[in-house]
A and B are shown apart, each in its own frame.
Chain A
Amino acid sequence: QVQLVQSGAEVKKPGASVKVSCKVSGYMFSDYFMHWVRQAPGHGLEWLGRINPNNGVANIAQKFQGRVTMTTDMSSSTAYIELRRLTSDDTAVYFCSPLGYKYPTDVWGQGTTVTVSS
């Protein structure tokens, strides 16, 4: 059974950083890129970027370049996204997924709520 289990909710102050994890089980972690998508309250889905677990090369959406870092730990089959210099606009639910079209690549994590508030 494929599972993407994300870390728990976070509350951060403006200007801080947050790191969200996504642990994969049920498929070979190295087989698929991992994408990160977020949804802010009252807004739509927004693609942040993707990372190749094999070489750590990430493609970050232009809007987030310089502020987002994606990494992976092959030993624990875990992907990470770090977002720096947080503002209230970063308050959102963050999802990980291989963003594919058939099992197991169509599975998503359960989402991690990040709240940025002073």
Chain B
Amino acid sequence: QSALTQPRSVSGSPGQSVTISCTGTSAYIDGYDYVAWYQHHPGKAPKVLIFDFTKRPSGVPARFSGSKSGNTASLTISGLQAEDEADYYCCSHTGSYRVFGGGTKLTVL
């Protein structure tokens, strides 16, 4: 059982915005090191979208953004596109260990 809880699914129409939450016990998000967000298309390697809660790696579009409030980290995708349909995972980095959330399936209607 994951220590990071994500909604199992979210959906939105092209052009809309969606937000995916990642809620953890206080040991895993609030006051701890980092949370990253990954996009995973089936059959491909996961891709990092956000790290350190809010930072975006080079090459990731600005419509992907991250935030944190208390023990919840969030990923917001603005201007939804068909290719955004994928699974999304948060990942907490605490010292030597990582923990993935259970994953959220994003459906673009």
Contact = CB atoms under 8 A, between A and B. Distances in A.
B14 interface: no
A77 interface: no
A44 B100 contact: yes
A29 interface: no
A99 interface: yes
Given A101-B55, A102-B57, A44 B87 contact: yes
Contacts, number: 50
A108 B46 contact: yes
A9 interface: no
A1 B103 CA distance: 30
Nearest to B50: A101
A73 to B, nearest CB: 22
Contact of A102 (B45, B58, B87, B101): B58
Interface stretch (B24-32, B69-77, B78-86, B89-97): B89-97
A37 B51 CA distance: 17
Contact of A95 (B45, B51, B102): B45
Contacts of A46: 100
Nearest to A60: B97
Contacts of B36: 101
Interface of B: 2, 36, 38, 40, 45-48, 51-52, 55, 57-58, 87, 89, 91, 96-103
